Amino acid sequence: MKASIGGYARAETVAHAIALLGEADGAGRILAGGQSLVAALNLGASAGDLLVDIAGIRSLRGTRLDGNRLVIGALTRHSDIVRDALIAEHAPLLAAAAPLVAHDAIRNRGTIGGALAYADPAAEYPACALALGATIILEGPDGTREVAAGDFFLGLFETAREDNEILTAIAVPKARRGELHVIREAARRAGDYALAGLAVVRRDGRHRIGAFGLADRALLCEGAMAALDQDDVDAAITALAQDIDPPGDTQASATYRRHLAGVLLRRIALDLGGAQ
C-alpha cells in the first residue's frame, strides 16, 4: 500500500515544530528517522496526518553533561550511540544496547527519541531507560517537563507524551565507579526485534532490571530486583516469572518467552558475578 499523508512541513526549531503541531490540531505526526513511522504509513496508519519533520533541528542532536546527568538529544541516532565517547563512559548500557537495534541501515537513520516515543514493547531503549532510572524530557506549548521513565511507558505503543509535545532528550544519571551495566536478549536472527530481553544496572550493590518483549510495555522487574539484591539468583528467576506478563504470538509462546527470561537472567547473574 502507498502511504497517504495530509501534508509535510519541515520544522526549523523545536518552537516551530510545536507551532506546526498546534496548527494541525491533533492531526500532526512527528517524523524523526522515519524507520518506524514510514512503515506504519505504508500500512495505512496515520492517513491524512500532517508530517512534521524534525530531522533538521540541530539542537536535538548529540550528547552533553549536565551536573550528574548525561543528556542525550532525541535525534541522536542509534549509530551515533554506538560510537559516542560520553555514552560509552557514562551510560555503557546504551552503548551495549545500540548494536542490538535492527541493522546498520536502520541504525544510521533511526533515533533514540523516536524509539522512546514509539514505545515498542520489544525495543531495547525503553527497558534501558527503566534500568538506568532515566528521565524523559518533553517540550510543548506550556514549556518543558520531565517525566521519570517509570511513569512514561504506559502500555502498548502508549506513553505519557501529549500529542502536542516533542520528546527532546533523555537524561540518565552518570554511571558511578564500580557500576555494572549488562543487556542480553534472545532474537531469532541478529537484528530482529527481541523475543525477550533484560537490561540490568547494578549500582551500589542494588539492581535495577528492565524487561523488553516480556509484557505489553517495558517493565521494571521489582520482585527479581529484590531477590538479586540478596544474591539469590534462583529466587530472582522465580520472582521474574511473576513480574513479567509475556505475550504469545506467531514468533513465540508466552511460556517460551517466560523460559527465555529466566535463562537470560541466569546468564546476566554470571556476567555480574564474573565482573566482581
Distance CA 253, CA 246 (A): 8
Containing 220, the helix (H) or strand (E) segment is: strand 219-220
The minimum distance between CB 230 and ligand FAD, in angstroms, equals 32
Do the beta carbons of residue 246 and residue 257 sit within 8 Å?
A: yes
27 counts as binding ligand FAD under rule CB under 6 A? no
Residue 183 parent element (H or E):
strand 180-186
Nearest to 141 by CA among 27, 20, 60, 59: 20
**Sheet arrangement for strand 219-220:** 180-186, 196-203, 206-212, 219-220
Which residue of 11, 14, 24, 36 would you call a contact of ligand FAD, by CB under 6 A? 36
Draw the binding track, 123-152, toward ligand FAD (x: CB under 6 A; -: no contact).
xx----------------------------
Please select the residue that binds ligand FAD; options are 110, 210, 213, 262, rule is CB under 6 A: 110
- Segment 152-181, which members bind ligand FAD (CB under 6 A)? 161, 166-167
- Segment interacting with ligand FAD, rule: CB under 6 A, options 19-27, 31-39, 147-155, 236-244: 31-39
Write the Ramachandran bin of 116: left for phi over 0, alpha for psi from -120 to 50, otherwise beta.
alpha
Closest separation in Å from C-beta 132 to ligand FAD? 15
Contact residues for ligand FAD, defined by CB under 6 A: 29-37, 39, 74, 101-102, 106, 110-111, 113-115, 117-118, 123-124, 161, 166-167, 193
